[in-house]
Structure 1
Amino acid sequence: MSRKGAHQHQQASQQIPSLVELDEVDLEENEAQVNVNLLPGLTGAVTRLMVGFREDDVETQFGQVHCTMKGVPKGSRPVIMTFHDIGLNYKSCFNPLFSHEDMQEIMRHFAVCHVDAPGQHEGASTLSTEYTYPSMDQLSETLPQVLKHFRFKSIIGLGSGAGAYVLAKFALNHPDKVEGLVLININARAESVIDSLTHKMTGWIQALPDHVLNHMFGKEEIQNNPDLIATYRNHITNDVNQSNLAQFFKSYQSRRGLEIERPVPRGNINARTLKCPALLVVGDSSPAVEAVVESNAKLNPTQTTLLKMADCGGLPQVSQPGKLTEAFKYFIQGMGYMSSASMTRLVRSRTASGSSIASCDSSRSRSHTNDNQPAREHTDVSMENVSNSTVDQTVVMSSRKTEDAC
């Protein structure tokens, strides 16, 4: 095993237990704080409800969507909404990230709504044979009903794989409802004819879990991280309803392209593209690298950030949750929120280091805003090659409109 593979193996192995841990609500995140020790007569369910935890099955025109709400929405501030990839649910996709200690500061500022696609949540029953599984476009149209159900005004979307596609589609059709997007392993294009034929041919000899694993992980990671792969194979096989998963998988493989186009100054300024800031994330050994880079090339460069994480595989939120949290916090601060939050390690390193790790166009720097007022201009930072040793010293950034003086 190579040194790089061994490091990934060790790092991934440390994350495996968090797949099954139940992430508890941090009581300090809620404005209406409750001292659980003073509530001995209440059941656990009532206590969890009082501190901002609820699970709802939201009825939509395309079926029932299971949602898990954590925290209490803060006034007009957006809610963080997650959407998972195929073969996963919100826990197995995002629990390692939201359980990370550095994420707790973000959760004190924002409520979180985890959305599970129809039939994909933990303990889901087999969908009726009369039920037609929604297309990816239709899945995106379940989200307006989720917002209406919880009375959300707007969201910051966090999606992985198929979930990234769903949230991006939602943002394209409802730009007034989305303030920002963090898209892990986004693929904006439709499945090619060659890919479709390949899936049909391999479908004769490969089981569904193998298809899903090949979607998530590259060959190098499958070879070098047997414990991680075994954990997800077991989860996909035993914890996810196979009939429901097959329908979700087929829906994703049948997706249409997002049909986005990069705006060109003095050209196609009205091109169809995301109107909100977007952070695109991919591991450097992920099978989604090419698709993410291509998606980035089609988005507005003044609104889009590409984060390519070095020594990282198909699930950055699992293998490197701390570094992804740092990038997420920096992204949110660039939107004008959390200005009173503690300085991130990334920014501290820029302040303390004598060497420059960023080039800044100070003439277009974003004006500062308070914590409750979103900025009208947004940070655009291209970050590549986040090393395995430390995020503080090896982030290479080219920056436009950054809020930090250079």
Structure 2
Amino acid sequence: MRGTPKGNRPVILTYHDIGLNHKSCFNTLFNFEDMMEITQHFAVVHVDAPGQQEGAPPFPTGYQYPTMDELAEMLPSVLTQLKVNSVIGIGVGAGAYILTCFALNQPSLVEGLVLINVDPCAEGWIDWAASKLTGWTSNLVDIVMAHHFSTEELTDNQELIQTYRLHIAQDINQDNLALFCGSYNARQDLGIERPVVGLNENTVKTLTCPSLLVVGDTSPAVEAVVSFQVECNSRLNPTKTTLLKMADCGGLPQVVQPGKLAEAFKYFVQGMGYRTHILISLSHLTVPAAGMTRLSRSRSSSSSITSTDGSRNRNMNSPLDGPNSGVLDNQGRPQTMEVSC
């Protein structure tokens, strides 16, 4: 089966946010040249939430959409069917929440997580919007757009905004989207706590794998991700957590600044013990192309990184155009598996 990893390499497993699917959420990132070079060494599995793929038929009347917990519980059977032993997860928004829940329930299956715009708490953005808008489905596109983009982005980046507004309104079944949004809005607090050595490190509920938290500095999710006193970063193991706050970036960093995210992902997998020798220019320095070797596992130190340099614009096609992935094996064949739960 194409996409099945060789040896003990994990598979890159992606999960999209509400209003998107794997194409609109991840195409730009995985089609970016630097990311394509990285993923030559990994198979990739993209997961679409039920009914969110393009052209999906509506669910029958009375259909009970899975909860966030149930969506996470579907993933082990998917990996078993694909004969995948472990993954590095990349999730955005609702997808980040689902992958976090999956990692908490199945820590042996998850080697690392890249969580973009993750909010582990129960309160949702729809609570505020629903109290001010009537006609759930008719206003759903505006609600989802406000979830993805800041007020500044909605005003200043008209081309991107128009692309995603049309995609959300025309390509995603609106009834199915409303069900997915309702499930995300009804999510439970994950109850993650920071382990304290000598006190609760063996009993506390927390992520045991290295985690990279990513958020744009103008993202609607920035407060939930960055706030050290209340939200996600304060709850995770500081020895295994890195926070990447991207400057001049809004709610979709994987779309707006794929170069920065690809660079961060490269260092993340290196910290996990996978050395990537690929051609990436860093401050006018070039790392020669070669292969990837497995290193001994090393702990990732906690850090907070603010990205300030501009990303390059190579392979910057429309986020909704182009192939589904840039993953190639040695013969140049696609190594991407798409799964709709």
TM-score range, shorter chain: 0.7 to 0.9
TM-score by length of 2: 0.83
Instruction: Measure the CA separation in 2 of the matches of 1:267 and 1:283.
Output: 34
Match in the other structure for 2:293: 371
Matches within 5 A, 1:220-231: 220-231=152-163
Alignment partner, residue 215 of structure 1? 147
Specify the alignment match of 2:310 in structure 1. Answer: 388
- 1:302-381 alignment, distance < 5 Å: 302-337=239-274, 339-342=275-278, 344-346=280-282, 371-381=293-303
CA RMSD of aligned residues (A): 2.1
Q: What's the counterpart of residue 298 of structure 1?
A: 235
Q: Distance in 1 between matches of 2:38 and 2:276?
A: 11
**Tell me, which stretches of 5 or more residues in structure 2 are unaligned?**
313-341
1:199 aligns with 2:136: no
Kindly indicate whether the alpha-carbon contact (under 8 Å) linking 1:74 and 1:109 is maintained by their aligned counterparts in 2.
Answer: no
Give distance in 2, aligned partners of 1:196 and 1:316. Answer: 22
Query: After superposition, where does 1:231-310 map in structure 2 within 5 Å?
Result: 231-269=163-201, 270-293=203-226, 294-310=231-247
2:91–2:115 CA contact under 8 A, matched in 1 = yes
Residues 95 and 259 of structure 1: CA distance in aligned 2, closer, same or farther (over 3 Å): same
The superposition leaves residues 35-67 of structure 1 with CA deviations (integer Å, 9 ceiling, x where unpaired) of xxxxxxxxxxxxxx8xx3xxxxxxxxxxxxxxx
What is the DSSP-based 3-state SS (H/G/I as helix, E as strand, rest coil) of the residue aligned with 2:91? strand
Match of 1:173 in 2: 105
- Cα–Cα, structure 1 residues 144 and 389, in superposed 2: closer, same or farther, change >3 Å? closer
Which residue type is aligned with residue 130 of structure 2?
K
* Equivalent position amino acid for 2:175 in 1: S
Distance 1:89 1:196 in 2: 19
Q: Distance in 2 between matches of 1:348 and 1:252?
A: 43
Q: Which moved more, 1:287-296 or 1:340-349?
A: 340-349
Does structure 2 conserve the Cα–Cα contact (< 8 Å) formed by 1:186 and 1:288?
Answer: yes
Deviation at residue 342 of structure 1 after TM alignment:
2.7
Gaps in structure 1 of 5+ consecutive residues: 1-48, 53-70, 352-369, 391-406
Distance 2:243 2:5 in 1: 29
* Aligned mates of 1:217, 1:237 — CA distance in 2: 15
Task: Indicate whether 1:81 and 2:3 are aligned.
Answer: no
Runs of 4+ in 1 over 6 A off after TM superposition: none
Q: Over alpha carbons, which structure has the higher Rg?
A: 1
Contact 1:335 1:379 (C-alpha < 8 Å) held by counterparts: no
Point out the more displaced range, 265-274 or 100-109.
265-274
In structure 2, distance between residues paired with 1:197 and 1:73: 41
**Conservation of the 8 A alpha-carbon contact between 2:38 and 2:276:** no
- Deviation of 1:129 after TM superposition, in Å, equals 1.9
Q: Name the CA distance, whole Å, in 2 between partners of 1:310 and 1:221.
A: 14
Q: Letter of the aligned partner of 2:70 in structure 1?
A: Q
One-letter identity of the residue aligned with 2:216: G
Q: In 2, distance between residues paired with 1:74 and 1:203?
A: 50
Does residue 95 of structure 2 align to residue 163 of structure 1?
yes
Any conservation in 2 of the 1:329–1:344 contact (CA below 8 Å)? no
Displacement of 1:375 in angstroms is 1.1
1:263–1:93 distance in 2 versus 1, CA, 3 Å: same
- Please give the alpha-carbon distance, in whole angstroms, between the structure 2 residues aligned to 1:272 and 1:382: 22
Given that 1:331 and 1:379 are in contact with CA atoms closer than 8 Å, whether structure 2 keeps it comes out as: no
Change (3 A) 1:346 1:383: farther
**Separation in structure 2 between the aligned mates of residue 166 and residue 348 of structure 1, nearest angstrom:** 38
Instruction: Normalising by structure 1, report the TM-score.
Output: 0.70
2:75 alignment counterpart: 143
The CA deviation at 1:346 is 4.3
Distance 1:102 1:373, change over 3 A: same
User: What does residue range 11-30 of structure 1 map to in structure 2 within 5 Å?
Assistant: none
Q: Distance in 2 between matches of 1:268 and 1:112?
A: 35
Deviations 1:183-233 (A, max 9, x none): 0000011116xx564232223177100010011111111111111111111
SS of alignment partner, residue 371 of structure 1: strand
Q: Do 1:305 and 1:382's aligned partners in 2 also have CA atoms closer than 8 Å?
A: yes
The AA in structure 1 aligned to 2:267 is Y
Following superposition, the deviation at residue 389 of structure 1 comes to: 6.9
